[in-house]
Amino acid sequence: MRKGLILLGVLIIFGQNANSADLAEVNGKAITDRDFDHALGGMNEYQKRELMSNAFARRKVLDQLIANEVLSAEARKNGLDKTEKFRLAEKSSIDNILSGLLIESKVSQTISDNEVKNFYEKNKSLFSTVQINIRQIVLTTEEKAASILGKLKKTPGAFGELAKEHSIDPSSKFTGGDMGYITRDKLPKQMRAKVFAAKKGSILGPIQSELGFHIILVVDRKAGATPPFSDVHFRVRQLLLQEKIDQFVTSLKSKYKIKVFQK
């Protein structure tokens, strides 16, 4: 038997029968073209076409599905599907799947091409390639932010040290608040206009977002332009989708009794 056709009880039939929905078997359990399509769920249409045109890439995805099936079967043999950790993970997975199906049916499928184009026209600045380099300090309260801002007015050069000492943002705390160069769409809505309108060297804040109260130092700017709609169509749709998801979730929350016991 040739190496590569049979592996750990795995029969590879990918590409052998164009009419078959089965791509492989692991000890008699089929891996189908629907499993393959599901594995590509995180890709956009262009990425899928690129992958499907590459035999090596297709086989790599299939090999990963086979590995997952082998590992899953072995885990069940070891009784791991009977553990509390599995039960909790299974519940989380089911919740995520149901959430995704609801969003797909109630939000994603309702977005028209005209909505996407209109969103682009009304929010062109979001797709500009203009970049700014900023540093930030994120605090839990407005009082703490005001106190840090007062210190910065006296000693602006202390921004990095104060970020390391006080910021609650784990992504930039240990780099002195450095966020690198970012485009407008990477900032929370509440910050975009103020930050991108500020001059180089400006210290802004406190600005409140879902993360806390931000103090921003504008370090540098890079010129850019607004690309045509055809170049950013997918990105426009993703931003519109996220905005609609946020609105949908907010509207649903008003229908449920929600209690939060930990800040």
Query: pLDDT digits over 146-195, tens only?
Result: 999 999 989 989 999 999 999 999 888 899 999 999 999 888 888 899 99
Question: In this predicted model, what pLDDT tens digit does every residue of 99-135 receive, in sequence order?
Answer: 999 999 999 999 999 999 999 999 999 999 999 999 9
Over range 209-227, report the average pLDDT.
93
pLDDT at 38: 85
Q: What is the pTM of this model?
A: 0.65
**DSSP bridge partners of 12:** 24
Which residue pairs, CB below 8 angstroms and at least 24 apart, start in 170-177?
172/135, 172/136, 176/135, 177/135, 177/136, 177/137, 177/217
pLDDT tens digits, one per residue of 57-87: 888 999 999 999 999 999 999 999 999 999 9
Rounded Cα distance, 254 and 252, in Å? 5
Query: According to the model, what pLDDT value does residue 262 have?
Result: 64
Mean pLDDT of the region 236-240:
94
Q: Is the pLDDT of residue 237 over 60?
A: yes
State the pLDDT at residue 37.
Answer: 87
All domains of the chain in start order, with CATH: 6-109 (no CATH), 130-222 (3.10.50.40)
Compute the distance between CA of residue 69 and CA of residue 219 in angstroms, rounded to an integer. Answer: 50
